[in-house]
Protein backbone atom coordinates (compact mmCIF):
# COMPACT_ATOMS: atom_id res chain seq x y z
CA UNK A 1 0.00 0.00 0.00
CA UNK A 2 1.57 3.35 -1.04
CA UNK A 3 2.39 5.86 1.65
CA UNK A 4 0.20 8.94 1.88
CA UNK A 5 1.66 12.28 0.82
CA UNK A 6 1.52 15.49 2.84
CA UNK A 7 -1.95 17.00 2.51
CA UNK A 8 -0.76 20.60 2.09
CA UNK A 9 2.80 21.02 0.82
CA UNK A 10 4.92 23.83 2.32
CA UNK A 11 5.03 27.01 0.23
CA UNK A 12 7.93 28.86 1.87
CA UNK A 13 11.58 28.03 2.52
CA UNK A 14 11.00 28.49 6.24
CA UNK A 15 8.18 25.93 6.19
CA UNK A 16 10.35 23.49 4.24
CA UNK A 17 13.13 23.83 6.81
CA UNK A 18 10.66 23.30 9.63
CA UNK A 19 9.28 20.21 7.89
CA UNK A 20 12.76 18.78 7.34
CA UNK A 21 13.48 19.27 11.04
CA UNK A 22 10.18 17.65 12.03
CA UNK A 23 10.85 14.65 9.80
CA UNK A 24 14.28 14.23 11.40
CA UNK A 25 12.66 14.24 14.83
CA UNK A 26 9.86 11.84 13.79
CA UNK A 27 7.33 14.57 14.54
CA UNK A 28 5.98 15.12 11.01
CA UNK A 29 3.30 12.45 11.04
CA UNK A 30 4.99 10.64 8.15
CA UNK A 31 8.47 9.31 7.47
CA UNK A 32 11.11 9.47 4.76
CA UNK A 33 13.90 7.04 4.12
CA UNK A 34 17.27 8.09 5.51
CA UNK A 35 18.62 8.88 2.02
CA UNK A 36 15.52 10.86 1.04
CA UNK A 37 15.63 12.84 4.27
CA UNK A 38 19.33 13.57 3.80
CA UNK A 39 18.66 14.89 0.28
CA UNK A 40 15.68 16.92 1.53
CA UNK A 41 17.83 18.50 4.25
CA UNK A 42 20.61 19.36 1.78
CA UNK A 43 18.12 20.96 -0.61
CA UNK A 44 16.78 23.33 2.04
CA UNK A 45 20.28 24.09 3.34
CA UNK A 46 21.28 25.51 -0.05
CA UNK A 47 18.10 27.09 -1.47
CA UNK A 48 19.98 29.17 -4.05
CA UNK A 49 21.39 26.01 -5.66
CA UNK A 50 18.08 24.19 -5.33
CA UNK A 51 16.40 27.05 -7.19
CA UNK A 52 18.71 27.27 -10.20
CA UNK A 53 20.07 23.77 -10.86
CA UNK A 54 18.19 21.24 -12.99
CA UNK A 55 16.80 18.04 -11.56
CA UNK A 56 19.56 16.10 -13.35
CA UNK A 57 22.30 18.35 -11.95
CA UNK A 58 20.93 18.01 -8.42
CA UNK A 59 20.59 14.26 -8.80
CA UNK A 60 24.22 14.01 -9.95
CA UNK A 61 25.32 16.16 -7.02
CA UNK A 62 23.60 13.85 -4.53
CA UNK A 63 24.52 10.64 -6.34
CA UNK A 64 20.91 9.60 -6.91
CA UNK A 65 18.50 9.06 -9.79
CA UNK A 66 16.36 12.07 -10.87
CA UNK A 67 13.27 9.95 -10.23
CA UNK A 68 14.22 9.92 -6.53
CA UNK A 69 13.80 13.70 -6.43
CA UNK A 70 10.46 13.40 -8.19
CA UNK A 71 9.26 10.84 -5.65
CA UNK A 72 10.51 13.01 -2.79
CA UNK A 73 8.59 16.01 -4.13
CA UNK A 74 5.38 13.99 -4.43
CA UNK A 75 5.91 12.47 -0.97
CA UNK A 76 6.02 16.04 0.39
CA UNK A 77 2.68 16.80 -1.28
CA UNK A 78 3.87 18.54 -4.45
CA UNK A 79 2.61 17.69 -7.93
CA UNK A 80 6.16 17.03 -9.08
CA UNK A 81 9.69 18.30 -8.81
CA UNK A 82 8.94 21.49 -10.75
CA UNK A 83 6.23 22.37 -8.24
CA UNK A 84 8.66 21.64 -5.40
CA UNK A 85 11.47 23.70 -6.99
CA UNK A 86 9.07 26.62 -7.50
CA UNK A 87 9.15 27.21 -3.72
CA UNK A 88 12.91 27.79 -3.87
CA UNK A 89 12.67 29.95 -6.98
CA UNK A 90 9.93 32.12 -5.53
CA UNK A 91 11.92 32.62 -2.32
CA UNK A 92 15.02 33.70 -4.24
CA UNK A 93 13.03 35.99 -6.56
CA UNK A 94 10.80 37.61 -3.94
CA UNK A 95 12.92 37.70 -0.80
CA UNK A 96 16.32 38.94 -1.95
CA UNK A 97 15.96 42.01 0.26
CA UNK A 98 15.83 39.67 3.26
CA UNK A 99 18.91 37.66 2.23
CA UNK A 100 21.30 39.08 4.82
CA UNK A 101 18.85 38.99 7.72
CA UNK A 102 17.84 35.44 6.80
CA UNK A 103 21.44 34.24 6.75
CA UNK A 104 22.22 36.03 10.00
CA UNK A 105 19.07 34.63 11.57
CA UNK A 106 20.10 31.08 10.70
CA UNK A 107 23.37 31.63 12.54
CA UNK A 108 21.83 33.39 15.52
CA UNK A 109 19.17 30.74 16.09
CA UNK A 110 21.61 27.82 16.02
CA UNK A 111 21.77 26.22 19.51
CA UNK A 112 25.06 26.91 21.26
CA UNK A 113 25.46 23.47 22.87
CA UNK A 114 26.69 20.17 21.52
CA UNK A 115 29.28 21.47 19.06
CA UNK A 116 26.72 23.48 17.10
CA UNK A 117 29.32 26.15 16.37
CA UNK A 118 31.26 23.65 14.27
CA UNK A 119 28.04 22.55 12.57
CA UNK A 120 27.48 26.14 11.41
CA UNK A 121 30.84 26.15 9.66
CA UNK A 122 30.22 22.69 8.24
CA UNK A 123 26.90 23.87 6.79
CA UNK A 124 28.49 26.99 5.30
CA UNK A 125 31.28 24.85 3.85
CA UNK A 126 28.72 22.52 2.24
CA UNK A 127 26.90 25.50 0.74
CA UNK A 128 30.17 26.90 -0.60
CA UNK A 129 31.06 23.52 -2.09
CA UNK A 130 27.61 23.38 -3.71
CA UNK A 131 28.20 26.83 -5.21
CA UNK A 132 31.53 25.70 -6.66
CA UNK A 133 29.88 22.55 -8.06
CA UNK A 134 27.20 24.72 -9.64
CA UNK A 135 29.82 26.96 -11.20
CA UNK A 136 31.71 24.01 -12.66
CA UNK A 137 28.49 22.49 -13.95
CA UNK A 138 27.68 25.66 -15.90
CA UNK A 139 31.11 26.09 -17.52
CA UNK A 140 30.94 25.98 -21.30
CA UNK A 141 34.18 25.43 -23.23
CA UNK A 142 33.18 27.51 -26.26
CA UNK A 143 32.00 30.44 -24.14
CA UNK A 144 35.15 30.29 -22.02
CA UNK A 145 37.41 30.35 -25.09
CA UNK A 146 35.38 33.23 -26.51
CA UNK A 147 35.78 35.24 -23.32
CA UNK A 148 39.52 34.59 -23.27
CA UNK A 149 39.81 35.78 -26.88
CA UNK A 150 37.94 38.99 -26.07
CA UNK A 151 40.19 39.71 -23.09
CA UNK A 152 43.32 39.00 -25.12
CA UNK A 153 42.39 40.96 -28.25
CA UNK A 154 40.42 43.96 -26.95
CA UNK A 155 42.11 47.34 -27.24
CA UNK A 156 41.30 48.04 -23.60
CA UNK A 157 39.55 46.27 -20.75
CA UNK A 158 37.62 47.84 -17.90
CA UNK A 159 36.47 45.95 -14.81
CA UNK A 160 33.53 46.95 -12.61
CA UNK A 161 32.41 45.62 -9.23
CA UNK A 162 31.05 47.44 -6.20
CA UNK A 163 30.73 46.67 -2.49
CA UNK A 164 31.40 42.95 -1.94
CA UNK A 165 32.76 42.61 -5.48
CA UNK A 166 35.09 45.60 -5.49
CA UNK A 167 37.97 43.51 -4.14
CA UNK A 168 37.41 40.90 -6.87
CA UNK A 169 37.35 43.63 -9.53
CA UNK A 170 40.58 45.12 -8.17
CA UNK A 171 42.31 41.74 -8.05
CA UNK A 172 41.19 40.84 -11.57
CA UNK A 173 42.42 44.23 -12.84
CA UNK A 174 45.81 43.60 -11.24
CA UNK A 175 46.13 40.07 -12.67
CA UNK A 176 45.07 41.04 -16.20
CA UNK A 177 47.46 43.98 -16.05
CA UNK A 178 50.30 41.50 -15.54
CA UNK A 179 49.68 39.86 -18.94
CA UNK A 180 48.35 42.70 -21.12
CA UNK A 181 48.20 46.48 -21.30
CA UNK A 182 45.40 49.03 -20.82
CA UNK A 183 43.43 47.29 -18.07
CA UNK A 184 41.81 49.37 -15.34
CA UNK A 185 38.82 49.64 -13.04
CA UNK A 186 35.90 51.17 -14.90
CA UNK A 187 35.58 54.09 -12.50
CA UNK A 188 39.21 54.35 -11.42
CA UNK A 189 39.30 58.20 -11.72
CA UNK A 190 36.06 58.38 -9.64
CA UNK A 191 34.35 60.46 -12.33
CA UNK A 192 31.30 58.20 -12.36
CA UNK A 193 30.34 55.05 -14.22
CA UNK A 194 28.44 56.93 -16.95
CA UNK A 195 31.47 59.13 -17.68
CA UNK A 196 33.76 56.09 -17.80
CA UNK A 197 31.43 54.24 -20.17
CA UNK A 198 31.21 57.26 -22.48
CA UNK A 199 34.97 57.04 -23.06
CA UNK A 200 34.81 53.46 -24.35
CA UNK A 201 34.62 52.53 -28.02
CA UNK A 202 33.37 49.53 -30.01
CA UNK A 203 35.63 46.58 -29.41
CA UNK A 204 36.50 47.54 -25.83
CA UNK A 205 35.54 45.04 -23.14
CA UNK A 206 33.81 45.67 -19.81
CA UNK A 207 33.76 42.95 -17.14
CA UNK A 208 31.05 43.32 -14.48
CA UNK A 209 31.22 41.17 -11.37
CA UNK A 210 28.15 40.45 -9.24
CA UNK A 211 25.55 37.81 -8.41
CA UNK A 212 22.10 37.80 -6.90
CA UNK A 213 21.20 39.07 -4.38
CA UNK A 214 24.27 41.31 -4.12
CA UNK A 215 24.67 44.76 -5.68
Helices 116-138, 34-45: axis angle to 10 degrees equals 80
Residue 73 lies in a domain: yes
Are 145 and 204 in the same domain? yes
Q: Are residues 103 and 48 in contact, defined by beta-carbon separation less than 8 angstroms?
A: no
Rounded CA separation 107/124 (Å): 10
Which range marks the domain in which residue 60 is found? 13-138
Both 96 and 183 in a single domain? no
From the list 206, 209, 164, 170, the residue with the least C-alpha distance to 188 is 170
Note the pTM of the prediction, 2 decimals: 0.46
End-of-domain residue from the set 121, 138, 155:
138
pLDDT in tens, 50-88: 888 889 989 998 999 999 999 999 999 999 999 999 998
Could you tell me if 73 and 97 lie in one domain?
A: yes
pLDDT the model gives residue 2: 44
Same domain, 27 and 112: yes
Residue 193 lies in a domain: yes
Are 17 and 108 within one domain?
Answer: yes
Is residue 5 in some structural domain? no
Are 164 and 111 part of one and the same domain?
no
**27, 117: one domain:** yes
1 found inside a domain? no
Q: Is residue 214 part of a domain?
A: no
How sure is the predictor about 202, in pLDDT bands with cuts at 50, 70 and 90?
very high
151/108 same-domain check: no
Rounded distance between C-alpha atoms, residue 98 and residue 183, angstroms: 36
Cβ neighbourhood burial of 75 (10 Å; 0-12, 13-18, 19+) = buried
By three-state DSSP, how is residue 154 classified? Answer: coil
CATH number of the domain at 82, please: 1.10.10.10
Does 99 share its domain with 182? no
116-141: pLDDT as tens digits: 667 778 878 887 887 787 777 778 88
In terms of domains, do 168 and 84 share one?
Answer: no
The per-residue pLDDT for 1 is: 38
Edge-to-edge, what's the strand order for the sheet holding 205-208? 183-185, 157-160, 205-208
Number of domain units in the chain: 2
Q: Model confidence over 151-183: pLDDT tens digits? A: 999 999 999 998 888 999 999 999 999 999 999
The domain boundary residue, chosen from 120, 138, 156? 138
Amino acid sequence: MPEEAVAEPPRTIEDLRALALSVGRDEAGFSLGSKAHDVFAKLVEAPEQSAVRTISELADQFGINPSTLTRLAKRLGFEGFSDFQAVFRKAIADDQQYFYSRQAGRLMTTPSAGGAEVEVFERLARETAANVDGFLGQLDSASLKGAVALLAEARRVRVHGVRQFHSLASFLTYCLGMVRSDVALLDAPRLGVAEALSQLEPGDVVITASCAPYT
